[in-house]
């Protein structure tokens, strides 16, 4: 398979997953911050912006973080390369370039999602934002189901799964980083702590699975452990990385080239092993921020190694390749 095709499939999956995660995050925070004090609501919306590290651009465009300004920035802003609209547009561009590799149902699904956000006027969106966000989230999830059901599970499909799970692990870790920081700073009572933990779980679509797994006990320690280390929760960080490892094993590397120390399979294997043997008590409290920062750096390096191993081609258009890579970097 051409590396250009593999790269487009990989990024198509990452962009759809990113759009779904951000849309769910917006819908959850509309509910979670509805009754918060103004100062806490402001900090809560600032945390949503900070999840993707887009604070500098947001500050240039908006004077205050609130429901409307953050929604516009995270969902609609064309200057924000991580906005939902930007992600869906680029997912469609990548899908268009590999139409011969994907099913017609997948192309129709990504088109429906694209035209849904393109044709919706912002004024209408803000008349009922939660319903709109949930509709976009549902369409993105339907696309993923269609992909699994209509595409042959060969090598092209493996690159889609690789992009999906790597993006999902990244987003769960980023949401945990932003929400945990917020939880420690502003929760003042057990009731408020419980509300914010529920919001954290819902942001990762984990509330019901966690409740069944934990027997209803709600604590920061158990929530963090569940999101990071659970082996069965499909958005858990360790679960996603294990799926990435299996996918890389299935794809394989060039057997004529010796395995390098920076091979994505080896780098990912070391990160998986570190998580498998992690004592959750070592990363709680003040240790959480440095732990997650280091983890996200290592995760980004895996993405870089995947690109270097599978996507670098000998034929590179001088103007096109740098532009494409710049657009796709988070």
pLDDT tens readout for residues 220-260: 899 999 999 999 999 999 999 999 999 998 887 665 666 67
CA distance 37 to 33: 8
From 117-121, 272-276, 293-297, the region with the lowest mean pLDDT: 117-121
Q: What is the pLDDT of residue 258?
A: 60
Computed over every residue of the chain, the mean pLDDT equals: 87
Q: For the chain, give the longest Cα–Cα distance.
A: 62
- Return the sign of the alpha-carbon dihedral for residues 69, 75, 77, 80: positive
Calculate what percentage of the chain has a pLDDT beyond 70.
87
Position with higher pLDDT, 148 vs 34: 148
Instruction: Indicate the burial class of 30 (C-beta count within 10 angstroms; 0-12, 13-18, 19 or more).
Output: middle
Is 259 in a helix, a strand, or coil?
Answer: coil
Which tens digits make up the pLDDT trace of 168-180?
999 999 999 988 8
Q: What is the pLDDT of residue 126?
A: 61
Position with higher pLDDT, 204 vs 217: 204
Q: What is the pLDDT of residue 50?
A: 87
Task: Categorize the per-residue pLDDT at 274 as very low, low, confident or very high, splitting at 50, 70 and 90.
Answer: very high
Q: What is the pLDDT of residue 261?
A: 64
Is 106 in a helix, a strand, or coil?
Answer: helix
Q: What is the pLDDT of residue 315?
A: 46
The answer to whether residue 121 scores a pLDDT higher than 80 is: no
Task: Categorize the per-residue pLDDT at 321 as very low, low, confident or very high, splitting at 50, 70 and 90.
Answer: very low
Phi/psi-derived region of residue 162, left when phi > 0, alpha when psi is between -120 and 50, beta in every other case: alpha
The answer to whether residue 69 scores a pLDDT higher than 50 is: yes
CA distance 189 to 131: 30
Question: Residue 306 to residues 164, 252, 263: CA-CA distances in angstroms?
Answer: 14, 11, 8
Is 34 in a helix, a strand, or coil?
Answer: coil
CA distance 329 to 146: 26
Which of 93, 86, 92 has the alpha carbon at shortest distance from 54?
86
Calculate what percentage of the chain has a pLDDT beyond 90.
62
Instruction: Indicate the burial class of 301 (C-beta count within 10 angstroms; 0-12, 13-18, 19 or more).
Output: middle
The answer to whether residue 329 scores a pLDDT higher than 80 is: no
From 12-16, 61-65, 125-129, 315-319, the region with the lowest mean pLDDT: 315-319
Which of 19, 49, 233 has the alpha carbon at shortest distance from 137?
19
Task: Categorize the per-residue pLDDT at 324 as very low, low, confident or very high, splitting at 50, 70 and 90.
Answer: very low
Task: Categorize the per-residue pLDDT at 182 as very low, low, confident or very high, splitting at 50, 70 and 90.
Answer: confident
What value does the mean pLDDT take over residues 38-58? 87
Q: Which of 124-128, 242-246, 310-314 has the highest mean pLDDT?
A: 242-246
Supply 277's token pair: 């043997």
């Amino acid at each position: 398979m051409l590396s250009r095709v593999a790269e487009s499939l990989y990024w198509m999956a990452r962009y759809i997953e990113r759009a779904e995660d951000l849309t769910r995050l917006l819908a959850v925070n509309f509910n979670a911050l509805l009754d918060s004090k103004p100062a806490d609501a402001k900090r809560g919306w600032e945390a949503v912006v900070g999840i993707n590290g887009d604070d500098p651009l947001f500050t240039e465009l908006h004077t205050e973080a609130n429901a409307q300004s953050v929604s516009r920035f995270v969902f609609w802003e064309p200057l924000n390369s991580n906005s939902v609209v930007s992600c869906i547009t680029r997912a469609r561009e990548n899908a268009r370039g590999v139409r011969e590799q994907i099913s017609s149902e997948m192309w129709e699904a990504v088109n429906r999602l694209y035209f849904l956000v393109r044709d919706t006027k912002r004024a209408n969106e803000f008349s009922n934002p939660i319903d709109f966000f949930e509709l976009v989230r549902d369409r993105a999830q339907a696309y993923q189901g269609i992909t699994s059901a209509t595409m042959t599970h060969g090598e092209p499909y493996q690159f889609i799964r690789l992009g999906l799970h790597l993006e999902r692990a990244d987003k769960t870790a980023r949401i945990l980083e932003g929400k945990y920081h917020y939880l420690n700073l502003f929760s003042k009572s057990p009731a408020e702590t419980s509300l914010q933990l529920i919001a954290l779980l819902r942001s990762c679509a984990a509330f019901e699975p966690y409740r069944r797994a934990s027997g209803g006990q709600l604590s920061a320690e158990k929530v963090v452990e569940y999101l990071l280390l659970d082996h069965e929760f499909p958005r858990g960080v360790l679960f996603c990385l294990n799926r990435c490892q299996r996918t890389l094993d299935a794809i394989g590397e060039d057997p004529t080239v010796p395995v390098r120390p920076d091979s994505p399979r080896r780098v990912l294997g070391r990160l998986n092993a570190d998580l498998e043997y992690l004592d959750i008590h070592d990363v709680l409290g003040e240790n959480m921020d440095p732990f997650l920062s280091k983890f996200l750096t290592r995760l980004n390096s895996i993405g870089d190694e995947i690109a270097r191993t599978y996507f670098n081609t000998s034929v590179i258009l001088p103007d096109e390749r740098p532009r494409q890579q710049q657009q796709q970097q988070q």
